[in-house]
Structure 1
């Protein structure tokens, strides 16, 4: 985690607004199209895939142009049935997603530690989500291995899977369940997100 909670004086930590200015200097520069309002009749499958590592592929070849991938990510939508699409007003193209469409590659902390802190997650494609009521963190646990798979809500029905280093950083911030349960978790924007049992 980039330590953005460096004290400017002994009594205050960096504010969430200042943190967001540092990690996303021009948030207004990326306006997303209203894909949830578009319902084109034409659809196609052109063998588009997002792999578990966040890489985008077309017909078996990796798409290496980051600007193109970022553009595609702005028109990505997940429908209620769990299917993913690249959507325009005229056509939608199915996208096969192996795990989650984004990967959270960084977490920054603002405000004071504990209940007052805010955790801002940055994805591999430049999206930023501050965990809280609108951007919950959830953990899925593999029934066989017991291994956790952590995710954060980004927008619409789209999530980012937390990279292993980011999850380890969260684990380093974990504290006991405020209700006295046996879970450890993290606070962000006044919400406690359980990460796993205390051992």
Structure 2
């Protein structure tokens, strides 16, 4: 069996490790436990734009590739390969849910990096509310400890499809029920 450790480091090593996943599958980052190698100047901004050394990463394919080796550890977000662990900065959540399809199975979200998830018990929707502004901050679980911020237009679609139960807007998906918020807060 060949050595899975890439012979390159930094961005080249991350790219090589991410390419080990067949098709659109995900590399087994949960099985990789390299030593922390330091920080890399990659920032995932609040608006979902991935930056490297102050410039946006313009290639969608590269962002998708990096997203497949992203992991949240107790000390923060990292890009992980079999041989390296590089800490990055995430201003909010690493992904954005930019589309939702309402299917017979439930709500299927698509993220800005191409992941699709069916909301349900394994992929819950959570809505936190800012105590000062009462602004909802909805998110959906994507994989491992990684979440996607639900984009405002997508959240409005959910609100439109929700039903009123005991003063709260509720939506179902994948056999689960999710509270979007009290009627006054969700409608604002």
Q: TM-score range by the shorter chain?
A: 0.7 to 0.9
- 1:106 match: 99
2:160 to 153, 159, 172: 172
- 1:78 match: 72
Per the alignment, in what secondary structure is the counterpart of residue 123 of structure 2?
coil
TM-score (norm 2): 0.83
TM-superposed deviation, 1:82: 5.7
2:37 to 40, 43, 52: 43
Per the alignment, in what secondary structure is the counterpart of residue 102 of structure 2?
strand
TM-superposed deviation, 1:37: 1.2
- 1:23 match: none
Tell me: higher relative CO, structure 1 or 2? Use CA pairs within 8 A at least 6 residues apart.
1
- 1:197 and 2:185 correspond: no
Q: Is the 8 A contact 1:101 1:159 kept in 2?
A: yes
2:143 to 155, 158, 165: 155
Please report the RMSD computed on the Cα atoms of aligned residues, expressed in angstroms: 1.3
Per the alignment, in what secondary structure is the counterpart of residue 120 of structure 1?
strand
- 1:57 match: 51
- 1:31 and 2:25 correspond: yes
Q: What do the CA deviations read for 1:160-181 (whole angstroms, capped 9, x no partner)? A: 001110000000011023xxx3
Structure 1: unaligned runs, 5 residues or longer: 1-27, 112-116
TM-score (norm 1): 0.79
Q: Is the 8 A contact 1:42 1:90 kept in 2?
A: no
Q: Is the 8 A contact 1:137 1:152 kept in 2?
A: yes
2:89 to 80, 83, 96: 96
- 1:185 match: 170
In structure 2, how many angstroms separate the alpha carbons of the residues matched to 1:29 and 1:46? 26
- 2:125 match: 137
Q: Is the 8 A contact 1:140 1:150 kept in 2?
A: yes
How many aligned residue pairs are there? Answer: 163
